[in-house]
Structure 1
Amino acid sequence: MTTIEFEHIAEKLRLRLVKVEREFFADDDKAEDIAQEILTRLWIMRDRVNVQLGVEALAVRMAKNLCVSEWRRQKAHRTVPVDERMSVDNRPTAPVEAKDGEMVLNRALAGLTKSELRLYRMRHEADMDIQQISAATGIGARSVSAMLSTARRKLFETIKRGGYL
């Protein structure tokens, strides 16, 4: 698509994009922001876009994907109440909950093999990365990663079976 073609269809696209975003958020400012983001992305890739294949369909798909991403980001942000995000440790029950959490984790750790436990502690307690663990143990980095993944999965399943999740 040439610059002239882009300028010709940009306003029509902007109106269509704003309409799509309003269906998601019912917020004119957010709709305008997302429309501008999509038009900017299209401008950057204009030399690779074929007008005959349907620029509007591409733009609408991009807008919907961006809206879904934004909605997910907002949803994830809303799942934890503001009071808990700001001061979890200031609640009166925080020390008790922390101690209970440690007890549950220690019980779950008891179910790991010696090598899994050693790697888990190196990663999560000593805060070593995969390469450091590999160098210290002589185990390949891929194997370390796989063993840690298995250990975490075992921990999760043990905690889940215990009714703590």
Structure 2
Amino acid sequence: MSVSESTALRYRQSDPDVRLMLRVKNDDAAAYEELLRKYHPRLVRLLRAMGPRADMAEDLAQETFMRVWRARVRYEPGAKFSTWLFTIAANVARNATRSQGRRQEVNEVDAPTGGDGSRAVGIVTATALEASSLMPTRVVEGAERGDIVLNAVKTLGERQRTALMLSRFENLSYAEIAETMGLSTKAVKSLLSRARVNLRELLQPYIEAGLIPKTGDDHE
């Protein structure tokens, strides 16, 4: 889709990463390296939750940046660079999830009965209760708390998980998330509302066990 000159000018003026990507478009390897250094850690964190497996995040981040390089000639600044990059990352994660799902279909025959959601909630709940018996009064901190939340996020559906990660961890606006996911702003608001409700339910056993503190709702 073509981008109007006024839109391109607006993003060139407002987003320094767009200006870097325009240098990449002209085969500037140093600009590409700068974007890679800046966004690689964020992409890995994002893809740990968006991809089919956390241990694939590094490979998926590399695939995302390979696509950025291959797409450089066609690049037009029609959005913030981060929005454009996360759109590519979401597509990479979606393709990997589908591919992984096809490879695992045969294993589903031996899986316990019940829907995926109920199994996921059961796993999270059991982990919380087991942990609470080991450390009933300690509130976990830092990386431990992050892992608990990340594991809970990964049990959400793909679209809820992606919307929540983009909102909570990348601070994208509703409009930016909508552009990244190819949805309407109204659909994004609905996804985030359901994701937050589901996440609170998943984390409730940890809160009741005293492993993580109770917090208020996310700000809009």
TM norm. shorter chain > 0.5 = no
Structure whose CA Rg is larger: 1
Q: TM-score, normalised by structure 1?
A: 0.42
Structure with greater contact order relative to length (CA < 8 Å, sep ≥ 6): 2
Q: TM-score, normalised by structure 2?
A: 0.33
